[in-house]
Amino acid sequence: MQPQQNPKTNRDSLIFALIVMLFIAIFAKAFHVQIIESDFLQDEGNKRQIRSLEIPAPRGEILDRNGNVLALSTPIDSIWVDPKILSFYLDSQQQKQKTNLDKLSVSDYSKRQALIEEKKQAYQTMLSLLGVSARSFTPQVLAKKNRRFLYVKRGVLPELTAKIEALDVPGLYVQNQYKRYYPAGEVVGHLIGYTNIDDVGIAGIEKTYEDWLSGVAGKKQVIKDRAGRVVEFVKDIHPAEPGKPITLSIDKDIQFFLYHALKKSFIKHQASSIMSVILNAKTGEVLAMVSLPAFNPNDRSQLKGARLRNRVISDRIEPGSTVKPFIMAKALDLNLIHLTDKIHTSPGSIHIQGQRITDTRNHGTLTPAEVIKFSSNVGATKIALKMTPNDEWQMYHDVGFGQDLGLFLPGETLGFLRPANEWQTIDQASASFGYGFNINLMQLAHAYMIFANQGRIKPLSLLKLNDVPEGHQVVSKEAAEAVLEMMEKVVGRNGTAPQAKIEGYRIAGKTGTVHRTKIGGYEQNKYIALFAGMVPVSNPKYIMVTAVNEPSRGIYYGGKVAAPIFKEVMEEVLRLKNVAPDERIEDDRK
């Protein structure tokens, strides 16, 4: 007889077998998850937690020739929200739809409502700190509740961002960026330009050298929690590359002197605009450039209207009598006149093709030097008519009138100089005293380099130069030096610009006073006052050209309005740069 099996033993064996099988299944699943599918599941987890964030790159600094910072990038933040998340706390109807009230106890309901009110209050506090109107912004959030992105405010300082992040507003995010800051403000506004809200250069040096100044954003991996906050840094994918710095030819101190002198004159003469430029007479480097009305690039509310125009390069002007030295230099170079010649200007006027050309008074018989000293239109006309129209046109072309300056600044105008084969006699005569064509002020300053460099002209530069360019010869050394000496008499006694005189220094210059143009002719009572000067004559270091547009206090001559600005600025520059006096004793007897 067979012994009977104990049912209890069978049941225990079965349970044991089931337990073993369960552990084997668990082990197999664990092995499958942790070994076989480990990489796949890790990747899937990362997709849900790890995010790639852009690392903003600062733009390169803009420096003056002495290393002073004219533009730099400062950390700034943009605050944005996820309307899909935030709208839940602002829309009571949406709260009802997303919550089963029947399943909530009174206690849970109260807690939920308290949380919603807390988040609403945090939201209101955020808007208050940012200066954003809840009345206008909240409807935007609700209107875009199915979207995932909406800017609250851009350009927020990091200190304020920290306060806002501490509020723990639902669906709020911070985007780190950089903002451009200009320490000198409107003193360098037109020259340096500015960037847009996305930190892209759109004016001045910022635009011209955008590719050089702009950086390359980097990327990093981080882990975010369910609220979208960064809780852990993973790794850098590639670092941000800052933009490259650039050193300009500008001298911040000279720029400062020029700006404040122009501001004072602008107010004194109630001008519609005023502009000036200072060059290194030997290298062609632009040391200062100012235009008024100006704007502060740090204040975005000012970035509109006519004040944005850099008038030094964008305004076309007829240069008036400031071009007479070029006519004189060309005539001397061609041996058409000599220093001892006598030029009859009586009775103070001349008729050309039915047009009357006049002087301010009857100067009688003048030497070439006196034609420049007294700024005789009749004398300049008679000298110009000794040469061919092409000779005169070629002179203006050789000094750069109507041509690209090579500075690549936005807004530059080339001016207009008609071809010589289209000139009539009256055109040639008018051009000899600066009418009938137009240029910008920078072109005029550039042209004056021939008198500082023994007849050679050199290219302009807005970047600090290590090597001085050689340039090319326009007129002979003898002709250029002779005219430079003539222009020295303009600033002397009985000249047209004694107010440009600086004690202890020899100054050379030329005045100009031109009628403002209008469609079909000229304004009778509106003028532009000009002065172009160089110092010191013995070895010219600085060229400064100034134009005052529509002075309206009854004084409008270049020698009375523009020449004093030259004196005020250059006195400071010569002192600052320790330029030795070069005045000759005999100058006192001029």
Q: Counting Cβ atoms within 10 Å, is residue 394 exposed (0-12), middle (13-18) or buried (19+)?
A: middle
Q: Which amino acid would we find at residue 123? A: Y
What is the tens place of the pLDDT at every residue in 489-528? 999 989 999 999 999 999 999 999 999 887 777 888 899 9
Which residues, listed in sequence order, are joined to residue 355 by a DSSP beta bridge? 352
The Cα 317–Cα 587 span in angstroms is 34
Same domain, 359 and 418: yes
pLDDT at 449: 98
The Cα 502–Cα 590 span in angstroms is 14
Same domain, 232 and 295: no
Domain residue limits at 456? 252-300+310-589
Same domain, 218 and 257: no
pLDDT at 368: 97
The Cα 482–Cα 310 span in angstroms is 34
Residues 211/230, Cβ–Cβ less than 8 Å: no
Does the active-site annotation cover 136? Answer: no
- Residue 230's pLDDT band (cuts 50, 70, 90): low
Determine the average pLDDT of the residues in 187-211.
Answer: 95
List the single range of 9-13, 199-203, 476-480 with lowest mean pLDDT: 9-13
Whether 510 maps to a domain, the answer reads yes
Residue in 321, 376, 430, 461 annotated catalytic: 321
- Residue 587's pLDDT band (cuts 50, 70, 90): very low
Same domain, 81 and 175: yes
Output the average pLDDT for the chain. 88
Total residues found in the chain within this entry: 590
Q: Which residues of 28-43 are buried (b: 16+ CB within 10 A; e: fewer)?
A: eeeeeeeeeeeeeeee
Q: Is residue 17's pLDDT more than 60?
A: yes
Residues 544/446, Cβ–Cβ less than 8 Å: no
Whether 28 maps to a domain, the answer reads no
Whether 551 maps to a domain, the answer reads yes
Q: Is residue 235's pLDDT more than 60?
A: no
Q: Is residue 465's pLDDT more than 60?
A: yes
Same domain, 410 and 555: yes
Whether 468 maps to a domain, the answer reads yes
Which residues, listed in sequence order, are joined to residue 143 by a DSSP beta bridge? none
pLDDT at 44: 55
Whether 198 maps to a domain, the answer reads yes
The Cα 532–Cα 537 span in angstroms is 13
pLDDT at 589: 45
CA distances from 578 to 104, 250, 501, 570 (A): 85, 18, 18, 12
Residues 173/80, Cβ–Cβ less than 8 Å: yes
- CB neighbourhood size of 15 (10 A): 10
Q: Is residue 111's pLDDT more than 70?
A: yes
List the single range of 75-89, 388-402, 452-466, 538-552 with lowest mean pLDDT: 75-89
Same domain, 262 and 220: no
Q: Which of 319, 271, 297, 364 is nearest to 561 (CA)?
A: 271
What is the tens place of the pLDDT at every residue in 239-251? 788 999 999 999 9
Whether 138 maps to a domain, the answer reads yes
Of residues 167 and 390, which shows the higher confidence score?
A: 390
Same domain, 438 and 536: yes
Q: Is residue 65's pLDDT more than 90?
A: yes
- Give the contacts of 442 (CB within 8 A, at least 6 positions apart): 277, 286, 289, 312, 313, 405, 407, 460
Determine the average pLDDT of the residues in 10-32.
Answer: 77
> Which residue, of 247, 268, 290, is where some domain finishes?
247
The Cα 60–Cα 379 span in angstroms is 53
Q: Which amino acid would we find at residue 182? A: Y
The Cα 3–Cα 225 span in angstroms is 66
Structure tokens at 333: 């170079």
Same domain, 188 and 61: yes
pLDDT at 194: 96
List the single range of 258-262, 303-307, 352-356 with lowest mean pLDDT: 303-307
Q: Is residue 181's pLDDT more than 90?
A: yes
Q: Is residue 227's pLDDT more than 80?
A: no
Query: Tokens 């000899």 correspond to what residue?
Result: 432
Same domain, 327 and 364: yes
pLDDT at 53: 65
- How much of the chain exceeds pLDDT 90, in percent? 63
Q: Is residue 8's pLDDT more than 70?
A: no
Q: Is residue 383's pLDDT more than 60?
A: yes
The Cα 232–Cα 68 span in angstroms is 39
Residues 417/437, Cβ–Cβ less than 8 Å: yes
> Which residue, of 204, 230, 247, is where some domain finishes?
247
Q: Which of 590, 492, 574, 496 is nearest to 540 (CA)?
A: 574
Whether 39 maps to a domain, the answer reads no
DSSP letter at 578 equals T
Q: At what angle do helices 389-398 and 425-432 cross, to 10 degrees?
A: 40
CA distances from 242 to 72, 211, 220, 480 (A): 11, 12, 16, 47
pLDDT at 75: 87
pTM: 0.83
Number of separate domains in the chain: 2
Phi, psi of 566 (to 5 degrees): -55, -50
> Which residue, of 226, 247, 268, is where some domain finishes?
247
Determine the average pLDDT of the residues in 356-382.
Answer: 96
Same domain, 218 and 267: no
The CATH number linked to 147 is 3.90.1310.10
Query: Is 543 strand, coil or helix?
Result: strand
Same domain, 378 and 394: yes
pLDDT at 269: 96
At CA 254, angle to CA 253 and CA 256, rounded to 5? Answer: 65
List the single range of 64-73, 85-94, 322-331, 580-589 with lowest mean pLDDT: 580-589
Structure tokens at 40: 């796949």
Query: Is 218 strand, coil or helix?
Result: strand
- Residue 590's pLDDT band (cuts 50, 70, 90): very low
- Residue 588's pLDDT band (cuts 50, 70, 90): very low
Whether 466 maps to a domain, the answer reads yes
Structure tokens at 403: 């041509």
Of residues 28 and 570, which shows the higher confidence score?
A: 570
**CA count, 13 A, side-chain hemisphere, 267:** 6
- Give the contacts of 60 (CB within 8 A, at least 6 positions apart): 212, 213, 214, 215, 242, 243, 244, 245, 246
Same domain, 207 and 277: no
Phi, psi of 203 (to 5 degrees): -160, 155
The CATH number linked to 366 is 3.40.710.10
Determine the average pLDDT of the residues in 107-114.
Answer: 75
List the single range of 39-43, 283-287, 499-503, 582-586 with lowest mean pLDDT: 39-43
Phi, psi of 118 (to 5 degrees): -65, -45
List the single range of 75-79, 173-177, 225-229 with lowest mean pLDDT: 225-229
- Residue 396's pLDDT band (cuts 50, 70, 90): very high
